[in-house]
């Protein structure tokens, strides 16, 4: 048997979630994806998740308005320094020409994949008829996707929901529009905009989408454990799973999924020494990336997620929130997570 045949046999014997995934002409190492989350999936967090085995991570979205690109927050969101390829940058907007401009901006900035947001349920996004609000107008969805795909020479992907309102789920028609427009992959959160993040994600329609189109379908929503990742992928037949909130405070979930599909066992959570190393390294990256003032403040939510459920964590977090410098915050965390 040749080396190539051995490699192919190894891939065939691997669980689907550990096999490479093609998005356009690009190869993703595996099928474990980090969902784009505003204020969370910044450069340090994406790199951290990839270091724990995530094959793909999508950036925070940039609103398709050239007047906003130069703002400090947007510059951070469009910073891909040191990232593991392929780099995926998300954009959001409701005007085809502006969305095309935003796509070109991201490609010029180093993005190898452009992701379009039609899933964000936030009021400030939906009131501009962007994000999941777009699902109310399929003609506009078509114009936006057609224009964005034609604007750049890299794969364009779509992140969306089941529909805008319960009882009006139109993901099947939206997915077909996306495929016809040349979208390279579609990630679907198993809720409507009306659901926001309440109740439980529903996967039946995602299974129907997978059976009705020929581009990769990525399932998203409530995947919070290795067993759930395997079960949801098997139930839907999806080409990949996408994890968002469950990675907050436990970016090692991707490593755990890989271990589970290889062995059938869930590895133990990091012990206190390991957790300390992970958190302090993450803090150093945040401080380096954002600087003193913003680094200290942005780190707070991550520290809260990491320490949730630990003994005396409530009192610790109250004290930690009062820290005004990175040195003070770093020392407080190091002390709290010491044996």
Question: Rounded distance, CA 47 to CA 59, Å?
Answer: 11
The answer to whether the beta carbons of residues 147 and 156 sit under 8 Å apart is no
Closest to 42 in 3D by CA, of 113, 100, 90: 90
Q: Among the options 33, 120, 296, 323, which is catalytic?
A: 120
120 is catalytic: yes
Determine contact, residues 32/243, Cβ cutoff 8 Å: yes
HEC string for the chain: CCHHHHHHHHHHHCCHHHCCEEECCEEECCCEEECCCCCCCCHHHHHHHHHCCCCEEEEEEEECCHHHHCCHHHHHHCCCCCCCCCCEEEEECCCHHHHHHHHHHHHHCCCCEEEEEECCCCHHHHCCCCHHHHHHCHHHHHHHHHHHHHHCCCCEEEEEECECCCCCECHHHHHHHHHHHCCCEEEEECCCCCCCCCCCCCCHHHHHHHHHCCCCEEEECCCCCHHHHHHHHHHHCCCEEEECHHHCCCCCHHHHHHHHHHHCCCCCCCCHHHHHHHHHHHHHHHHHHHCHHHHHHHHHHHHHHHHCCCCCHHHHHHHHHCCCCHHHHHHHHHHHCCC
Q: Which two tokens stand for residue 2?
A: 């040749």
Enumerate the active-site residues. Answer: 120
């Amino acid at each position: 048997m040749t080396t190539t045949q051995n490699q192919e046999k190894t891939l065939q014997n691997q669980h689907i979630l550990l096999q490479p995934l093609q998005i356009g002409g690009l190869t993703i190492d595996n099928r474990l994806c980090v969902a784009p989350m505003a204020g969370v999936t910044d450069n340090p967090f994406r790199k951290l998740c990839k270091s724990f085995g995530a094959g793909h991570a999508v950036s925070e979205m940039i609103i398709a308005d050239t007047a906003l690109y130069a703002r400090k927050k947007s510059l951070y969101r469009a910073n891909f320094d040191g990232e593991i390829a392929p780099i995926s940058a998300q954009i959001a907007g409701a005007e085809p020409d502006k969305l095309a401009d935003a796509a070109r901006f991201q490609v010029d900035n180093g993005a190898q994949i452009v992701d379009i947001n039609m899933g964000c349920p936030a009021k400030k996004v939906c009131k501009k008829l962007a994000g999941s609000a777009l699902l109310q107008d399929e003609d506009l969805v078509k114009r936006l996707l057609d224009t964005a795909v034609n604007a750049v020479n890299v794969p364009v992907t779509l992140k969306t929901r089941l529909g805008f309102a319960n009882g009006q789920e139109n993901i099947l028609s939206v997915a077909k529009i996306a495929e016809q427009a040349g979208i390279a992959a579609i990630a679907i959160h198993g809720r409507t905009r009306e659901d926001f993040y309440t109740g439980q994600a529903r996967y039946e329609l995602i299974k129907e989408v997978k059976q009705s189109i020929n581009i990769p379908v990525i399932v998203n929503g409530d995947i919070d454990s290795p067993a759930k990742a395997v079960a949801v992928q098997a139930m839907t037949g999806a080409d990949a799973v996408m994890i968002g909130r469950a990675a907050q405070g436990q970016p090692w979930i991707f490593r755990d999924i890989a271990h589970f599909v290889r062995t059938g066992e869930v590895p133990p959570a990091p012990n206190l020494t390991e957790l300390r190393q992970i958190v302090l390294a993450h803090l150093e990256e945040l401080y380096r990336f954002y600087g003193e003032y913003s680094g200290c403040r942005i780190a707070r939510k991550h520290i809260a997620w990491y320490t949730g459920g630990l003994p005396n964590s409530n009192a610790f977090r109250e004290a930690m929130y009062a820290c005004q410098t990175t040195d003070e915050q770093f020392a407080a965390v190091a002390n709290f997570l010491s044996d």
